[in-house]
Chains A and B, each alone.
Chain A
Amino acid sequence: MAAAIVVAGLERAFGEFRAVQGIDIEVGEGEIYGFLGPNGAGKTTTVRMLTTLLLPTGGRATVAGHDVVAEARQVRATIGVALQEAALDPLMTGRELIRLQATLQGLPPAAGRRRADALLERVDLAAAADRRVGTYSGGMQRRLDLAAALVHEPRVLFLDEPTTGLDPVSRKTIWEEVRALNDDGTTVFLTTQYLEEADQLADNVGIIDSGRIVAEGTPEALKGEVGNPHIELLVGEGAVAEAERVCRELGKLLPPKDGKRVLVEVEHGSADIPRVVRALDEAGIEVESLELVRPTLDDVFVAKTGYHLEEEEAKKAAEEASST
């Protein structure tokens, strides 16, 4: 598969602060690449360099075969960009915005009008097309932003946290649109701080923390790296110690979450469940519930960075809320 994006040793410093510290990425043509990391990790800075909005201070990158510094205009003709916090003018109508974007991308007026109508229809905004963007909900604004990014049918689409702050229904709508675009052959570079989003959408995931890529691979491979699935057992009161003793012989006992649950890592996933149930039954331990838990990208994140991504985001959000 040819590479749509190649990043080699890319760096960006702001004074003494090194926001991106020599990262390497390769994204194949037609791939969805999930770029995962907490706020301030360097995701947006990387996207801004790849979309020619910010000059790198080191390394190099090509998008659709064009160098982001030396051939910036060719890069801009090939890419679609929907940046974090949809950059929309609240005083324009949806139709005006898409038509302006068509002009910016060099479409002739008649073709621009046709394309605008088709895109507004595609993202289900035809009825609201002549309303000012300031009256749109967050989900509608993101869909409009996405439509604007598609006006020239870009080969590579950059989506910077396209679902941040959206309700679950709007988030799913964006996901479906991203999948449909990808099915049509568009390469998607998607930054996100949502683990589920990366897991659901991405063919390959890169995890960035403090300006460095700490892990890269398919979601399955990354999850496979951090260990086997584990069985989570809820047993009757007073039986925890005995259940732990039994489980220790069946697999690796994991640190307990609370005093009621026993967590045991097993090698063969669901195939190990009957063995565990039988052993507990023979020991006379009553099992109230049992769940097979597979490793998540959060486990990968924890393994690579030492902290939970979504916990960290929640903490930052709470800090921001309390400071305002």
Chain B
Amino acid sequence: MSDVAATARVVRALGARSIRQTFRRPQLISPIVVFPTLLLAVQTGGAGAGVELPGFPPVQSFLQFMLAGSMMQSMMLAGNSGGIAFAVDIEMGFTDRLFAAPIPRFAIVLGRLAGTAALGLFAAIWFFAIGLIFGAEIEGGVPGALLATALVTASALAVGGIGAAIALRTGSASVVQGLFPLVLVVLFLSSAFFPQELMVEPAKTIAEYNPLSFIVEGVREPIISGIDATQTLEAVAAIAGIVVLGLMLSARALRHRLRVG
């Protein structure tokens, strides 16, 4: 078997383990599914009239507008949960088992990211299902839904890279868990839950430059209006930037961990 094929098998096996680990540990899966679903229900029920505000983008319903935000919240928490699970592996010595195997060590990080990306895919499907059950329309049709799903999956991988880097650097699950509020701050300072046009300063300016806003809009556009090439490209660029940053930080943190033991 070639080196590439063998490494791909390892990444797939570690990704599958990472998914099983998430679903078998309630504290990892509940932030990804339960929390964003509850928030979606509360916000849709309580702030649905927001769509009437002047400046709110034309949408079929508040639920339709919110789906992209919920997917973003879920995928960011998937990235955080992936980081926590990775740090737990380091704390209990499981990563030593992986580091002692004759595989490229970055495959260990890629395996974790593959699992996180799969959770992003799951989040996208979950919220599309909820949206469709409760009457939200997907204006971009099947191609729009597929594009949004792909963007959410890729974003989960990107955010997972940052989570993995922090886990590798600190080796502490509680440190990674402590980033949970920061995830919410980043989310609320983007256009995930509210249109940028209706925000007040300085949140408006921050949201304008927040890479997450570009991703949210790339996911939202196929849902509320249809596929838009510019917004898709901006989302892809933002994701690519975070992927590169996450992988660079992970590679550096991995080198540090192997140096200090």
**How far does the Cβ of A303 sit from chain B's closest Cβ, in whole Å?**
32
| Identity of the chain A residue whose Cβ is nearest the Cβ of B7 in the assembled complex | A106
Q: Which of the residues A53, A83, A87, A89 comes within 8 Å of B21, measured between beta carbons?
A: A89
B93 within 8 A of A: yes
CA–CA, A132 and B65, complex, Å: 42
A317 within 8 A of B: no
Binds A, one of B98-106, B161-169, B187-195, B234-242: B98-106
CB-based contact A52/B100 at 8 Å:
yes
**How far does the Cβ of B261 sit from chain A's closest Cβ, in whole Å?**
4
CA–CA, A74 and B25, complex, Å: 35
A108 within 8 A of B: yes
Q: Which of B230-261 contact A (CB under 8 A)?
A: 258-261
Q: Which of the residues A54, A87, A91 comes within 8 Å of B261, measured between beta carbons?
A: A54
A77 within 8 A of B: yes
CB-based contact A103/B102 at 8 Å:
no
> With a CB–CB cut-off of 8 A, which chain A residues contact B261?
45, 48, 53-55
CB-based contact B258/A81 at 8 Å:
no
CB-based contact B96/A83 at 8 Å:
yes
Range of interface residues on A (Cβ < 8 Å): 20 to 34
| Identity of the chain B residue whose Cβ is nearest the Cβ of A48 in the assembled complex | B261
> With a CB–CB cut-off of 8 A, which chain A residues contact B185?
none
- The residue in B89, B258, B261 that gathers the most chain A C-beta atoms within 10 A of its C-beta is B261
| Identity of the chain A residue whose Cβ is nearest the Cβ of B88 in the assembled complex | A89
| Identity of the chain B residue whose Cβ is nearest the Cβ of A80 in the assembled complex | B100
Q: Which of A83-132 contact B (CB under 8 A)?
A: 83, 85, 87-89, 91-92, 96, 100-101, 103-106, 108-109, 132
Q: What mask results when residues 9 to 48 of chain A are scored 1 for a CB within 8 Å of chain B, else 0?
A: 0000010000000000000000000000000000001001
CB-based contact A87/B97 at 8 Å:
yes
A150 within 8 A of B: no
**How far does the Cβ of A240 sit from chain B's closest Cβ, in whole Å?**
53
B198 within 8 A of A: no
| Identity of the chain B residue whose Cβ is nearest the Cβ of A73 in the assembled complex | B102
| Identity of the chain A residue whose Cβ is nearest the Cβ of B89 in the assembled complex | A89
CA–CA, A14 and B260, complex, Å: 8
Binds A, one of B9-17, B37-45, B49-57, B70-78: B9-17
A264 within 8 A of B: no
CB-based contact A106/B94 at 8 Å:
no
> With a CB–CB cut-off of 8 A, which chain A residues contact B21?
89, 91-92
> With a CB–CB cut-off of 8 A, which chain A residues contact B260?
14
A148 within 8 A of B: yes
| Identity of the chain A residue whose Cβ is nearest the Cβ of B104 in the assembled complex | A73
Q: Which of the residues B14, B99, B103 comes within 8 Å of A53, measured between beta carbons?
A: B99
Q: Which of the residues A45, A53, A91, A109 comes within 8 Å of B100, measured between beta carbons?
A: A53
B6 within 8 A of A: yes
A76 within 8 A of B: yes
Q: Which of B57-101 contact A (CB under 8 A)?
A: 89, 92-94, 96-101
Contact A104 B98, CB 8 Å, known A48-B261, A54-B261? yes
| Identity of the chain B residue whose Cβ is nearest the Cβ of A74 in the assembled complex | B102
CB-based contact A91/B13 at 8 Å:
no
CA–CA, A45 and B13, complex, Å: 29
Contact A91 B98, CB 8 Å, known A53-B261, A55-B258? no
Would you give 25 A-B contacts (Cβ < 8 Å), ordered by A? A48-B261, A52-B99, A53-B96, A53-B99, A54-B261, A55-B258, A55-B259, A73-B102, A76-B100, A77-B102, A81-B97, A81-B100, A83-B93, A87-B93, A89-B21, A89-B89, A89-B94, A100-B13, A103-B9, A104-B13, A104-B98, A104-B101, A106-B1, A106-B6, A109-B9
- Residues of A at the B interface (CB closer than 8 Å) are 14, 45, 48, 51-55, 73-74, 76-77, 79, 81, 83, 85, 87-89, 91-92, 96, 100-101, 103-106, 108-109, 132, 148
Sample of 14 further A-B pairs with CB below 8 A, known A54-B261, A88-B92: A52-B100, A53-B261, A73-B102, A79-B100, A81-B100, A83-B93, A89-B94, A91-B25, A100-B13, A101-B97, A103-B10, A104-B13, A104-B98, A104-B101
